[in-house]
Structure 1
Amino acid sequence: MRTQHNLKLILAEAALETVPREIWGHPAVYRHARRRGKPPGSILLDRSVHHHAMRKLPNAEKRGRPDIVHVALLEALSSPLNREGLLEVYIHTLNDYVIFVDPSTRIPRNYNRFTGLIEQLFQEGQVPPQGKPLLWIKSMTLKRLLEEINASYVILLAEDGETKRVREIVAETLENAPNTAIIVGAFPHGDFTSETKELATRIYSIYHGNPLETWTVVSHFLALAADMLNLI
């Protein structure tokens, strides 16, 4: 089975944001920002550093995990599908920003370099700041993104979805290309919002044990897609 249509992968409700104003003055945030030589509002919220400061934030269990997007992006952009020009990757954040990713982007493997890159993206609006952007960001809802990329058939992978094998989901995705988007959550705990679920044409679960990590789901899905397209 082969297709010339790109697969559209959306990492949704991603736990990726700068530190919110209400905790700028917390000692953990202040010390971290001072050590980085940056204002508190320009550094990424990271639970590994800001755990105590995050306790009173709303929806705290879903926030402050830039590493999820980092590893998932490394998986996606190094995949055979992306190398063959058959993959589009988008990141929708919990706060309704969308990051557009040029397929040629080489994401830093080092986590600290990655966070610096994303901090620059939030500040400048695109990376690099001048010339052709490799990453650029817009204030945009998930619904608006789906409209912009003409995704009329939306498959959402969620714990409470109908159980289905990954191979069958990949086949369904390819059969409905180019209008299909596959949505994978990029947050550590909790569930998709009702607004996100309402956008889905189909909601599937691929595993009924403990929830799989985002990058594991992305890796399995893209590897099977590459296999079914005879890329590997």
Structure 2
Amino acid sequence: MLHLILADSELETVPPEISSEKSIRWKAQRRGRKPTELILDSNYDHRIMRKLPDSERRGRPDIIHVCMLAALDSPLNREDLLKLYIHTRNDKIIDVASETRIPRSYNRFIGLIEQLFLTGEVPPEGPLLRLRDGTLRGIVEEINPEKAITFSSREQEFRRESLFDEVKKEDDVCIIVGGFPHGDFLSRVGELSDEIVRIYPEEFEALTAVTHAIHFYEDEFEVLKGSFNK
């Protein structure tokens, strides 16, 4: 099974230090929530976010949205060979059930994630998303994979044919992808990875890394071929 982790994801609720801003309070009132229950979103809050450290990379729930859509709709997930986790900059973990179908509407997705951060589980009956405290190291240790691989644009080029060396289909493999728009990991991925690889000379989006990670695994273990032979 492939365990895919979106690490250091820029997904968080509005920090207290900007929660009293007029536009934040107005949006909270309109949505029937407290300001600190809203999801920070640079699409709307970019001006106010200049007051925050690392403001240029924070507030990117859109990255998580598109990555989740792609991963959960993949043949690998449909064959029950994918486990997806979201790890955030504030060391929150979202455990994603394979049968989860998140809204394609971005605004509905934001509402869902706000509810998740508020209640810890959604939907209330038979939760498919669960929020808990936890570190990236903690997730990797829970998985205890046969091999842990991090995709990073700052490391050496890799050989496609050696990515899953000494790994069998029944083994647990972990691939870590950054859930942020640019820059480097905040977590110490080097201590958690058997291998850190660069799959393209230039930096690219998290969505591209996610789709390639899934495709590489599907191709290596002939997942699509196996699905037609059932």
Instruction: Give the TM-score taking structure 1 as reference length.
Output: 0.90
One of 178, 189, 192 as aligned partner of 1:185: 178
One of 99, 122, 131 as aligned partner of 1:127: 122
| Mapped pair 1:138 → 2:132 | yes
Counterparts of 1:152 and 1:225, CA distance in 2: 14
Give 1:159 deviation, angstroms: 1.4
Counterparts of 2:193 and 2:142, CA distance in 1: 16
What residue number does 2:61 align with? 66
Structure 2 alignment gaps of length 5 or more: 225-230
Give 1:165 deviation, angstroms: 4.5
What residue number does 1:7 align with? 2
Give 1:15 deviation, angstroms: 0.6
Give 1:168 deviation, angstroms: 4.0
Identity of aligned residues (%): 47
What residue number does 1:205 align with? 198
What residue number does 1:230 align with? 222
Structure 1 moving runs of 4+ over 6 Å = none
Counterparts of 2:198 and 2:75, CA distance in 1: 24
What residue number does 2:228 align with? none
8 Å CA contact 1:173, 1:182 repeated in 2 = no
Pairs within 5 Å for 1:76-155: 76-129=71-124, 131-151=125-145, 153-155=147-149
Q: Secondary structure at the match of 1:161?
A: coil
Instruction: Give the TM-score taking structure 2 as reference length.
Output: 0.91
Give 1:7 deviation, angstroms: 0.7
8 Å CA contact 2:8, 2:187 repeated in 1 = no
Counterparts of 1:177 and 1:212, CA distance in 2: 30
Q: Counterpart amino acid of 1:132?
A: G
8 Å CA contact 1:28, 1:52 repeated in 2 = no
Bigger drift between 61-70 and 151-160 goes to 151-160
Give 1:118 deviation, angstroms: 0.6
| Mapped pair 1:156 → 2:150 | yes
Q: Counterpart amino acid of 1:205?
A: R
Instruction: Tell me: CA distance 1:173–1:221, structure 2 relative to 1, closer, same or farther (3 Å).
Output: farther
Counterparts of 2:144 and 2:223, CA distance in 1: 25
Q: Secondary structure at the match of 1:64?
A: coil
Give 1:181 deviation, angstroms: 0.8
Q: Counterpart amino acid of 2:69?
A: L
Give 1:110 deviation, angstroms: 0.5
Q: Secondary structure at the match of 2:223?
A: coil
One of 41, 47, 56 as aligned partner of 2:36: 41
Counterparts of 1:142 and 1:182, CA distance in 2: 12
Instruction: Tell me: CA distance 1:221–1:30, structure 2 relative to 1, closer, same or farther (3 Å).
Output: same
Aligned residue-pair number: 224
Counterparts of 1:73 and 1:143, CA distance in 2: 21
Cα displacement string for residues 70-91 of structure 1 (whole angstroms, at most 9, x for unaligned residues)? 1001110000000001011011
One of 203, 206, 212 as aligned partner of 1:214: 206
CA RMSD of aligned residues (A): 1.8
